[in-house]
Each structure stands twice: as structure tokens, then as C-alpha cells.
Amino acid sequence: MEPPHNNTSHDTSRHVRQDAPHDASQDARDDTGRDDRRETGLDDRPDTGRPGAERRRPWVVGISGASGTPYAASVLRGLLAAGEAVDLVVSRASRLTLLDETGIAFRDAHWRADLREWLARGADGKPGTFPVTDAELARVRYWAAGDLAAGPSSGSYPVKGMLIVPASTACVAGVALGLSKDLLQRVASVTLKERRRLVVAVRETPLNGPTLKHLVTLDEAGAIVLPASPAFYAGATHIQDLVDFVAGRVLDAAEVPHGLYRRWEGELRGGSKDQEEAPDAP
């Protein structure tokens, strides 16, 4: 069943334009997203500055325009299942991959409803596979990719680190060169300068020389370069298993507990889960 686009008590979409077209290019209306940030980001955030208030320390998840949006969905679900807070940045190009891979047009003004629908999808595109609770969604704060004054653009904003999933080669180049051409790249640069954990799940094949050099630069700067390359030793039988393996390795790199894949325990099994469970052929 398709999850409803319901407005929850945490949903501040009452403040934003309700007549925005369901169109991935709609955010061209306001490249900075300042209106959306003001209306969707700050109303429901926990106190972070008051003495005695518990300080929210999210993971920033940056989604760039490489193929592999199911990896991002699985990482986001894993973080929320582990009780983590998330600050989400979605690049302009990634809206195209999201549209292409899921059919969902991600809109700044309706990010919470679009995120709910997206995260509920399995890697096979089936809606409603992983329902997301209101409590989980309430731990997500969204920043428009054009908003270079967003909280995470400063090193003084408290975060645990950043996970870029998937990372395009353009994003890899931009971060390696310190371009900060949008909020996603700026947060990545800040993460490196603050010596925080940066995981870059690059997705491209084959890789050209410049990208390989940029990846070495990121590694030398302290980032964890984690190619989105699923392994087959964990008994995968479905596309979701392969997606969850990569997402699980991203969460491993962030030291976030999860149960997304079966870990290697030192024993060769001689086949997939299905083969193991199948009755002997006559």
C-alpha cells in the first residue's frame, strides 16, 4: 500500500506554499531554499544552545547525482533505526537520479512527504516496503542544496560527520578541489577541515585518471573512500540484499550499529541462502 502523504504534528508544511507543482525542477524557483529552510528546518528543531539542553548531533547525509539512490534510502533508514539524527542535503542533480530510479520528484517545499514515500520503497521500487514512523521522520532536518548559510555549512554547527551516498565523480572532484559549489560540497569541506568522519560512497565505472587522483586526494585528506560495490559473500538473494550490503558498510565506516547484512564469520558456505534452503534435486 502506498504510504499516505499525511501531515504529522512535526510537519511544518503548513507554513509553505501548498500549490507547488510536483516537478523535480521546481526548486529553481529559489536556489537558496531560504524560505523552505526558515519554514521547515527551524521550527521543530531541539534546543542546541540552551544551557542544560541536550545537544543534537546529527549525521549529515549528502545525496549527490550518481546512480544509486536505493543506497541512500537504506543508509537513511539504518541511521534512523539506530536512533541517530540526520541532516539531509539533496543535490540538484540527485533529483534527476531519484526521479529516474524511483519516480519520485523530490521537492524542497514538500520534502517530508517525499522523503516518507521514498524511504518506504524497497530497492525493487515496491511502495510501502519499509514504513517510516513519524518519530523517525521528526529526527530529520532538511537543508536546501542552494542554502550556503545553512547550519552545517559552519564548523561550529554540531554534527558527528558526513556520509555522501551515492557520491558522483563531479562531487568527488568538487570536494577534492574544495570547490564548495553547493551546500553538499561545502559541508564535505567543513567536515574535512574539522577532522570529522567523511564517508564518500563513490559510484561510477570505469574510473578515469582524474577521478582516481581525486579519490587519492580525499583519502589523504582523511575521508573514507567507499566504492558502492556490493559483495556476494553475504548470501544475497535479492537486489535489496546487495543494496543493504553497501549501506551497511557505510554505517560500519560511521560506527553506527545495524543488521543490514550478514557478516563474514570465517566459513565458506558454498552457495546463496536460497541454494542452502532448497531441497535436494531428485
Ligand X SMILES: Cc1cc2nc3c(=O)[nH]c(=O)nc-3n(C[C@H](O)[C@H](O)[C@H](O)COP(=O)(O)O)c2cc1C
Binding site for ligand X (CB under 6 A): 64-67, 91, 93-94, 96-97, 100, 168-171, 203-204
Residue with Cβ nearer ligand X (3 or 65): 65
In the complex, minimum distance from the CB of residue 181 to ligand X, in angstroms, rounded to a whole number: 7
Determine the 3-state secondary structure of 87 from DSSP: strand
Residue with Cβ nearer ligand X (95 or 139): 95
Q: Given CA atoms 106, 110, 112, 116 in this order, what sign does their dihedral have? A: negative
Whether 67 has a binding-site annotation, put simply, is: yes
In the complex, minimum distance from the CB of residue 191 to ligand X, in angstroms, rounded to a whole number: 16
In the complex, minimum distance from the CB of residue 146 to ligand X, in angstroms, rounded to a whole number: 11
Whether 249 has a binding-site annotation, put simply, is: yes
How far apart CA 256 and CA 237 sit, in angstroms, is 24
Residue with Cβ nearer ligand X (41 or 65): 65
Q: In the chain, what is the straight-line distance between the N-terminal and C-terminal CA atoms, in Å?
A: 40
| Sequence-distant (≥ 6) Cβ neighbours of residue 196 within 8 angstroms | 159, 160, 161, 162
Residue with Cβ nearer ligand X (26 or 169): 169
DSSP class of residue 56 equals P
Whether 65 has a binding-site annotation, put simply, is: yes
Residue with Cβ nearer ligand X (100 or 274): 100
Whether 170 has a binding-site annotation, put simply, is: no
Contact 80, 138 (CB under 8 A): no
In the complex, minimum distance from the CB of residue 53 to ligand X, in angstroms, rounded to a whole number: 34
In the complex, minimum distance from the CB of residue 168 to ligand X, in angstroms, rounded to a whole number: 4
Is 140 exposed, middle or buried, given 0-12, 13-18 or 19+ CB atoms closer than 10 A?
Answer: buried
In the complex, minimum distance from the CB of residue 133 to ligand X, in angstroms, rounded to a whole number: 29
Whether 66 has a binding-site annotation, put simply, is: yes
The arrangement of strands across the sheet holding 59-63 comes to 140-143, 86-90, 59-63, 161-167, 197-202, 224-225
Residue with Cβ nearer ligand X (176 or 256): 176
How far apart CA 147 and CA 152 sit, in angstroms, is 10
| Sequence-distant (≥ 6) Cβ neighbours of residue 147 within 8 angstroms | 32, 33, 34, 37, 153, 183
Task: Mark the binding-site residues, compressed into ranges.
Answer: 65-67, 91, 203, 233, 249
Task: Mark the binding-site residues for dimethylallyl phosphate, compressed into ranges.
Answer: 233, 249
